[in-house]
């Protein structure tokens, strides 16, 4: 294993109280072509051996082993799993949130425009990770992750949540029908949309921050990095579709208990 892949953490390290974590870029791995280079998603058509090596490199950067890195089979839902011991990738449950108080476990979420959110209650030594696309954010995955951490002994007002790289407001064009379910849930959600011709632009990061604030998270940090616009740094489903590339890599965001 060669070195550690780069990760974004300067803006979130202090906020998370020194908890080991990383919002990894797409650089520092072994994948090639569309997946160049730190593709950590088995859901892509990348070579499995390359994905395994990439996941191992990311886990090592957080002081863990490849086998200690746990990710779910993400389905844009609201289910959250408590992780007491690592599972094999093929045994991953269909969840979009993970929580743990077990030292040695590395919780990870995969994203390519959706918002990865990492959580920590440093005092209780409880961490969490959530995959929040628009469907999951609207349905309540962030609130469900906070609640799952509380069930383990965390205190909501002590929990810091950091929203990692996701598709940016100026990149996220949606259809005219898109705002309706958000407005039905909460009319004030209109502020996260801006007219763009006959369509709209949607602020996913801002909406996720709003849901976390309303849920009572103690501190919310936004990295404000646009996965779609920053092609050299991040994987993006939207960019892949626009370029008709056929597939795309998945970026990893991960957190572990301890310093």
Q: Which residue has the higher pLDDT, 190 or 1?
A: 190
pLDDT confidence of 4, banded at 50, 70, 90? confident
Is a pLDDT exceeding 70 seen at residue 14? no
Question: Where do the domains of the chain lie?
Answer: 7-165+220-256
Q: In 3D, which of 218, 100, 212, 98 has the Cα closest to residue 156?
A: 218
Q: How far apart are CA 211 and CA 149, in angstroms?
A: 16
* Best CATH choice for the domain 7-165+220-256 from the list 3.40.50.300, 3.60.140.10, 1.10.1760.20, 1.10.3720.10: 3.60.140.10
Residue 194 reports pLDDT greater than 90: yes
pLDDT value at 10 more than 70: no
Structure-token pair, residue 192:
């996260």
pLDDT at 11 over 70: no
Question: Whole-prediction pTM value?
Answer: 0.96
Would the pLDDT of 3 be above 90?
A: no
Exposed, middle or buried by CB within 10 Å (0-12, 13-18, 19+), for 128? Answer: buried
User: What's residue 16's pLDDT?
Assistant: 80
b/e 19-45 (16+ beta carbons within 10 angstroms → b): bbbbbbbbebbbbeebbbbbbbbbbbe
């Amino acid at each position: 294993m060669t070195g550690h892949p780069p990760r974004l953490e300067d803006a979130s390290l202090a906020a998370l109280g020194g908890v080991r974590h990383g919002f990894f870029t797409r650089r520092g791995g072994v994948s090639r072509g569309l997946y160049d280079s730190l593709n950590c998603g088995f859901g892509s058509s990348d070579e499995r051996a390359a994905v395994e090596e990439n996941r191992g490199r990311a886990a090592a950067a957080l002081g863990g082993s490849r086998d200690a890195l746990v990710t779910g089979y993400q389905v844009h839902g609201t289910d959250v799993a408590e992780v007491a011991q690592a599972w094999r990738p093929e045994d991953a449950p269909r969840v979009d949130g993970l929580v743990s108080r077990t030292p040695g476990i590395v919780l990870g979420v995969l994203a390519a425009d959706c918002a990865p959110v990492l959580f920590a209650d440093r005092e209780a030594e409880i961490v969490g990770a959530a995959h929040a696309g628009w469907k999951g954010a609207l349905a309540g995955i962030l609130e469900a992750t906070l609640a799952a951490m509380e069930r383990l002994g965390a205190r909501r007002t002590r929990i810091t949540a950091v929203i990692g790289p996701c598709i940016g407001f100026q990149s996220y064009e949606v259809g005219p029908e898109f705002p309706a379910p958000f407005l039905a849930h909460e009319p004030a959600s209109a502020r996260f949309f801006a007219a763009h011709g006959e369509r709209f632009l949607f602020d996913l990061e801002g909406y996720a921050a709003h849901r976390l604030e309303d849920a009572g998270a103690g501190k919310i940090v936004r990295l404000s990095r646009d996965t779609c616009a920053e092609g050299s740094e991040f994987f993006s489903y939207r960019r892949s579709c626009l370029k008709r590339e056929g597939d795309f890599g998945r970026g990893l965001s991960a957190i572990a208990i301890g310093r």
